[in-house]
A and B are shown apart, each in its own frame.
Chain A
Amino acid sequence: MKKLIEIINYRDMIDGLVRKDLRGRYKGSILGFIWNFINPLCQILVYFIIFSNVFKPDIEKFHIFLIAGIIPWNFFSEAVIQGTGCIIANADMTKKIYFPRAVLPIAAVTSRFINLLLSLTICIVIILLTGGRLGTSFIFELPIILLLEYFMALGFSLILSAINVYFRDVEYMTSVIMMIWIWMTPIMYSFEAVPEQLQKFVSLNPMTPVIIAYQCVLYQTSQLYLEMLIYPIVFDVILVLIGFAIFEKLSVHFSEEL
């Protein structure tokens, strides 16, 4: 609890780090901030062309379906990967100055989260322009899903970033796992298309209900039911609690290990 208050007292530092990350990332390049959007848009374009011409999925308006899954997934994957490496990346600061260490993963995840918000805004415009529609309830539903995903990314980042200080393998392992994980989540395919014996396995994946929820809201596959979110909410709470506990335990010796 004391730690939490301390972190809140350092919110200006989080703010500063997020700004630094967002603004510093593409500084010096001509397109600058636009690069944040070029990447996912190209990704969607490539997937769209290949899927709709080669694999021919029987999903209507497949591009909207893709957007609803890939944009949130990109956030999750980038946030966890960047979060995992954030202590090492700021080793300099960590070794020399005292501040609550949890500020670093929080800032890393938050920075990606703000990026997600911006890309989502653009995506919603694209969805509306290309024949998609959004129910009015998305204004309430979307924030809940966003927060769910935010804390999931934060929980994983806390655990992985702390372990990464002791074993640098974690950073590389995370990238590999993310690559596999994306195909275990119904992003390029719909959950219904999964063979029944595998559905149980896919729904164990905590990201599955989150992505399905996004699809409900942005693609309007079906109504969003609260029951769908119980699993990820419980998962989030446990993950974040364990995450903070592990992080606090390991962060004591960060400056000696770095």
Chain B
Amino acid sequence: MRNKNNAIEVNNIKKAYRQYDDKPHQIKDAIIRFNFRKNQKREIIKGITFEVEKGQALGLIGKNGCGKSTTLKMLTKIIVPDSGAIEINGRVSSLIELGAGFHPDMTGRENIYTNATIFGVKKSEVKKRIQDIIDFSEIEEFIDSPVRTYSSGMYMRLAFSIAINVDADILLIDEILAVGDLAFQEKCFNKLLQLKKQGVTIILVSHSLGQVERLCDRAIWIDNGSIKEDGNPYDVNAAYIKATNPQKETVVTSPMINMVQNGTFFDLENKTRFDPGANGHVKFISAEILNHSDNVFKMGENPLVKISYRIEKNVGTVAFRYTVFNKNNMKPIATAMSQPSVACEIGKQVSKIYIFNIGILSPGEYIVRMQLFRPDEFGFGTKFDVIEDGISFLVIASKDSFYHLGWHEDAWGNIYIGECPDVIVEDVYER
């Protein structure tokens, strides 16, 4: 160790994997290979050097196959680097693969013992912590049933509880925080935050930049086997996002614009309808963005949209509703509804101009699901027409907004509530 305050020192490690078309599991293959084929080696890690201070939480980010998991595996000693040195100061626990070594026929309690000893914990130590483990996993009543009777969620919860309740100075985590339901995930995350507070050094490999920003003091972006960026998570994440998703850059030239050439007029009449619950008594004809030359809006803009529909049957009243979806993950973000209006004259074509209050949306690509319906009494509604991809649009921001940080969708969501105003200025000095 060069520095006593370091928990981990990694010095110029390199690793190459042999690349097989198919592994030689038979002696015959091996002989053939030695004679006729040179070993093709693929360099995965091309010289990585970093140090982690005690108590620091480090996030490793990067594309799939960039080498971050391999780096983590080398820290756990599962894989040995070809060259370079790794020094570790303290006891390591890894949350890489959960539930490895569980025996399905043995009870949860028995498996806690076996599994914890695999992590190198003494039996006497497990005895002391077993109640903590059971409490954390929230499966008290099933703990003496065989784990094969567990649901997959219970199985993972038990495995996670064992791994996280192992006393360790250094915790290595690979993309496993997606355990159980949301409440349990949050509990796990809070446990990690608590461990961090206690001074545990954490290394987290994650694709969720949000998690990295919440947990880590530092992030390293690994690209193609070497370190591309190293610094505070916000800067590193921003650089990473910029490099991987060029369309999210706050510049107007996006491929999205080419997708809808004419930009403002959307023919809805001939779109495919997917919702079998819509009875078609009122039908969309078109949607048109009015005060704009295309469907690219600056942040804060609230465009006017003209919606036209035709009344096929006398339905009494009709209301319009739209839901904005994030185009990347197709998650709904926000919904707006209109007042009902009369729809009695069969065959009549109605056009209404609505203000789309989408100015709060962050930069990104969106799709709008549109719906015509009638709100009935007692909370029941009748659906007339539903179009999943009614219109699509792009929201952009000027380059210097958000303090030059860019918008981090994974961490911040899709709505910019606005600048946070201070009302009372009061400086308090605590003694």
**Contact residues of B between 67 and 105, Cβ < 8 Å to A:** 73, 76-80, 92, 94, 96-97, 100-101, 103, 105
B119 within 8 A of A: yes
Cross-interface CB contact of B119 among A28, A92, A95, A97, cutoff 8 Å: A97
Q: Decide: A97 and B101 in contact? CB cutoff 8 A.
A: yes
Distance of A12 Cα from B117 Cα, bound (Å): 6
With a cutoff of 8 Å between Cβ atoms, the chain A residues found around residue B118 in the complex are: 13, 16, 93, 97, 99
Closest beta carbon of chain A to B237's beta carbon, Å: 28
Closest beta carbon of chain B to A5's beta carbon, Å: 13
Interface stretch, picked from A145-153, A191-199, A250-258, is A250-258
Closest beta carbon of chain B to A256's beta carbon, Å: 6
Max chain A C-beta neighbours (<10 A), residue from B23, B24, B92, B118: B118
Q: Decide: A97 and B117 in contact? CB cutoff 8 A.
A: no
Distance of A157 Cα from B402 Cα, bound (Å): 63
B143 within 8 A of A: no
Distance of A169 Cα from B26 Cα, bound (Å): 6
A90 within 8 A of B: yes
B290 within 8 A of A: no
Q: Decide: A167 and B27 in contact? CB cutoff 8 A.
A: yes
B121 within 8 A of A: yes
With a cutoff of 8 Å between Cβ atoms, the chain A residues found around residue B78 in the complex are: 95-98, 255
**Contact residues of A between 7 and 36, Cβ < 8 Å to B:** 9-10, 12-13, 15-17, 19-20, 23-24, 27-28
Distance of A34 Cα from B103 Cα, bound (Å): 20
Distance of A256 Cα from B120 Cα, bound (Å): 22
Q: Closest chain B residue to A25 by CB distance?
A: B105
Q: Decide: B30 and A99 in contact? CB cutoff 8 A.
A: no
B123 within 8 A of A: yes
With a cutoff of 8 Å between Cβ atoms, the chain B residues found around residue A92 in the complex are: 97, 100-101
**Contact residues of A between 78 and 108, Cβ < 8 Å to B:** 90, 92-93, 95-99
Q: Decide: A256 and B79 in contact? CB cutoff 8 A.
A: yes
Closest beta carbon of chain B to A91's beta carbon, Å: 10
Cross-interface CB contact of A97 among B24, B27, B94, B105, cutoff 8 Å: B94
With a cutoff of 8 Å between Cβ atoms, the chain A residues found around residue B120 in the complex are: 9-10, 13, 99
Task: Known contacts A27-B105, A168-B26; decide if A97 and B123 are in contact (CB<8 Å).
Answer: no
Q: Decide: A93 and B101 in contact? CB cutoff 8 A.
A: yes
Distance of A218 Cα from B110 Cα, bound (Å): 38
- Name A's interface SS: helix
**Contact residues of B between 113 and 151, Cβ < 8 Å to A:** 113-114, 117-123
Q: Closest chain B residue to A103 by CB distance?
A: B118
Interface band, chain B? 20 to 34
B360 within 8 A of A: no
Closest beta carbon of chain A to B72's beta carbon, Å: 11
Q: Decide: B101 and A90 in contact? CB cutoff 8 A.
A: yes
Q: Closest chain B residue to A170 by CB distance?
A: B27
Closest beta carbon of chain B to A134's beta carbon, Å: 36
Distance of A169 Cα from B119 Cα, bound (Å): 31
With a cutoff of 8 Å between Cβ atoms, the chain A residues found around residue B92 in the complex are: 98
With a cutoff of 8 Å between Cβ atoms, the chain B residues found around residue A169 in the complex are: 25-27
Distance of A45 Cα from B201 Cα, bound (Å): 62
With a cutoff of 8 Å between Cβ atoms, the chain A residues found around residue B17 in the complex are: 256
Q: Closest chain A residue to B29 by CB distance?
A: A167
B106 within 8 A of A: yes
Max chain B C-beta neighbours (<10 A), residue from A20, A28, A169: A20
Distance of A95 Cα from B121 Cα, bound (Å): 19
Q: Decide: A15 and B105 in contact? CB cutoff 8 A.
A: no
Q: Closest chain B residue to A164 by CB distance?
A: B25
Task: Known contacts A93-B101, A96-B97, A97-B96; decide if A13 and B23 are in contact (CB<8 Å).
Answer: no
Cross-interface CB contact of B121 among A12, A15, A256, cutoff 8 Å: A12
Q: Decide: B114 and A16 in contact? CB cutoff 8 A.
A: yes
Q: Decide: B96 and A16 in contact? CB cutoff 8 A.
A: no
Q: Decide: A96 and B96 in contact? CB cutoff 8 A.
A: yes
**Contact residues of A between 167 and 196, Cβ < 8 Å to B:** 167-169
Closest beta carbon of chain A to B122's beta carbon, Å: 6
Closest beta carbon of chain A to B126's beta carbon, Å: 8
Cross-interface CB contact of A15 among B27, B76, B117, cutoff 8 Å: B117
Q: Decide: B79 and A20 in contact? CB cutoff 8 A.
A: no
Q: Decide: A168 and B101 in contact? CB cutoff 8 A.
A: no
Q: Decide: B103 and A20 in contact? CB cutoff 8 A.
A: yes
Q: Decide: A10 and B94 in contact? CB cutoff 8 A.
A: no
Q: Decide: B114 and A20 in contact? CB cutoff 8 A.
A: yes
With a cutoff of 8 Å between Cβ atoms, the chain A residues found around residue B27 in the complex are: 167, 169
With a cutoff of 8 Å between Cβ atoms, the chain A residues found around residue B25 in the complex are: 167-169
Task: Known contacts A96-B97, A97-B100; decide if A15 and B73 are in contact (CB<8 Å).
Answer: no
Q: Decide: B114 and A17 in contact? CB cutoff 8 A.
A: yes
Cross-interface CB contact of A93 among B80, B100, B106, cutoff 8 Å: B100
Q: Decide: B26 and A167 in contact? CB cutoff 8 A.
A: yes
With a cutoff of 8 Å between Cβ atoms, the chain A residues found around residue B121 in the complex are: 12
Max chain A C-beta neighbours (<10 A), residue from B23, B25, B77, B101: B101
Q: Decide: B106 and A20 in contact? CB cutoff 8 A.
A: yes
Distance of A19 Cα from B105 Cα, bound (Å): 12
Cross-interface CB contact of A24 among B106, B119, B122, cutoff 8 Å: B106
With a cutoff of 8 Å between Cβ atoms, the chain B residues found around residue A95 in the complex are: 78, 97
Q: Closest chain A residue to B15 by CB distance?
A: A256
With a cutoff of 8 Å between Cβ atoms, the chain A residues found around residue B113 in the complex are: 16
Distance of A95 Cα from B174 Cα, bound (Å): 14
Q: Decide: A252 and B101 in contact? CB cutoff 8 A.
A: no
Closest beta carbon of chain B to A172's beta carbon, Å: 10
Q: Decide: B101 and A253 in contact? CB cutoff 8 A.
A: no
Distance of A90 Cα from B76 Cα, bound (Å): 18
Q: Decide: B76 and A98 in contact? CB cutoff 8 A.
A: yes
A sample of 18 cross-chain residue pairs with beta-carbon separation below 8 angstroms, ordered by A number, consists of A10-B120, A12-B121, A13-B117, A16-B117, A19-B110, A20-B110, A27-B106, A92-B97, A93-B101, A97-B100, A97-B101, A98-B92, A98-B94, A167-B26, A169-B25, A169-B26, A253-B80, A256-B79
Besides A27-B106, A92-B97, A252-B80, 5 new A-B residue pairs in contact (Cβ under 8 A), listed by A number: A20-B103, A28-B105, A96-B97, A167-B25, A169-B27
A residues near B, CB below 8 A?
A: 9-10, 12-13, 15-17, 19-20, 23-24, 27-28, 90, 92-93, 95-99, 166-169, 252-253, 255-257
